[in-house]
Amino acid sequence: MRALTVSEGGTKNMKSFPRDAKQVQETAIRCRKLVTRRALISAGASVLPIPGADVTVDVTLMIGIINSINREFGLSPQQIQLLSTEERLRMFQIITATGSAWAGRYITKTLVTATLQKLSVKLTAAQASKLIPILGIAASAGISFGALKWIGNQHIKDCVNIATAFNEQGRPWQDS
């Protein structure tokens, strides 16, 4: 088994690529739990009466969620760089074929903000709903929770498809 590690201001233990369907599903379950926990934090932040605080928290949480999911599935840019040239090419072809906007990429504030802008109607509704006491706060929390959970779960689905396709095309970690 290859252990993938990378130095980012210190050594971080990176997950290896899920090697079979069982590992892919276990990874997906772990990631869904992570997304739910972070979405709850987002919902909690949305009840703060500070305008824009929830958007700042959402962007920060999204960056963390997507990077964590990528690492769990072995799809961070650093982990992909550790693959052989042939494996990297195959991986990027699969990522492109799935249409994933997040896998294998450096997740930046700009990238996350662009995605959240696509959900801007929901986010604007969440901001406006804060003007209505209690019900507005509850609606804002629900919208923040739902948006973050939806984006996170969509990315998990993409990563499961990528991992499954990569495994079906051959297992580079098995000795010939």
Is 140 within a domain? yes
For the chain, what is the domain count? 1
pLDDT one-digit tens code per residue, 124-174: 555 555 555 665 666 777 878 888 899 899 999 999 999 999 988 865 444
d(CA 163, CA 103): 11
d(CA 46, CA 134): 12
d(CA 119, CA 94): 26
Is 110 within a domain? yes
The parent domain of residue 65 ranges over 21-167
Q: Which pTM does this prediction carry?
A: 0.76
Q: What integer pLDDT is reported at residue 46 of this predicted model?
A: 76
Is 146 within a domain? yes
Is 133 within a domain? yes
d(CA 176, CA 170): 11
Record the tokens describing residue 102, joined without a space: 């997040």
Q: What integer pLDDT is reported at residue 7 of this predicted model?
A: 34
Q: What is the pLDDT along the chain (176 residues), one digit of tens a residue?
A: 333 333 333 334 456 788 889 999 999 999 999 999 999 888 888 777 676 677 788 888 889 999 999 999 999 999 999 888 998 999 999 998 888 877 888 888 887 777 766 665 455 555 555 555 665 666 777 878 888 899 899 999 999 999 999 988 865 444 44
Is 78 within a domain? yes
Is 30 within a domain? yes
Is 116 within a domain? yes
d(CA 31, CA 44): 20
Is 175 within a domain? no
